[in-house]
Amino acid sequence: MSSQTIHILNGPNLNLLGTRQPEVYGRDTLHDVETLCRRVAAEYDLAILFHQSNHEGEIVEMIHEARTEGLGIVINPAAYTHTSIAIRDALASCEIPIYEVHISNVHRREAFRHHSYVSGVATGVIAGLGIEGYAAAIRVLSHAEKRPNFELNP
């Protein structure tokens, strides 16, 4: 795997994107998200590995594979955002930057979506930009090595 690879990981039910709740998630499918990510990554000569899983343990294993190699992780953990200490612990073991992305603005939705187990171990969090949030995360990662670390308490 090249150090110029970005791992893009998607959690449960995101395979159904575009099939319902367009008022919340828009009409784009996960395939459209992948196409967008590949186009933006190509602008910066970066490779991407794009995955989706409905299984917590599989996502943990994908994070382990990304742990030490690659430019960074862009993860939409979907509902596991609000429940999974296993995914948080796996992300906490990573040595590369992590961007948490949510298509919807979770903070103007139900209270149970306001807490994220992931945000506390992420480098940055993007919510409510629709699928453009993935593109924004890739753009930030594209100059990750040229920027100072934003973290206050690394």
Residue with smaller CB distance to ligand CA2, 20 or 143: 20
Give, to the nearest 10 degrees, the angle between helix 56-66 and helix 85-92: 0
Residue with smaller CB distance to ligand CA2, 38 or 82: 82
Residue pair 46/71 in contact by the 8 Å Cβ criterion: yes
- Hey, which residues are catalytic here? 25, 102
In the complex, least distance from residue 54 CB atom to ligand CA2, rounded to whole angstroms: 10
Residue pair 20/63 in contact by the 8 Å Cβ criterion: no
Residue pair 74/80 in contact by the 8 Å Cβ criterion: no
Provide the token pair at 48. 């991407």
Under the rule (CB under 6 A), what is the footprint of ligand CA2? 13-14, 16-17, 19-21, 25, 76, 78-79, 81, 102-104, 106, 113
Residue with smaller CB distance to ligand CA2, 110 or 145: 110
51 contact partners, CB below 8 Å, separation of at least 6: 7, 8, 9, 10, 62
Residue pair 118/86 in contact by the 8 Å Cβ criterion: no
In the complex, least distance from residue 33 CB atom to ligand CA2, rounded to whole angstroms: 10
Provide the token pair at 77. 């953990």
Residue with smaller CB distance to ligand CA2, 5 or 81: 81
In the complex, least distance from residue 133 CB atom to ligand CA2, rounded to whole angstroms: 8
The single-letter code of the amino acid at 54 is: N
In the complex, least distance from residue 61 CB atom to ligand CA2, rounded to whole angstroms: 20
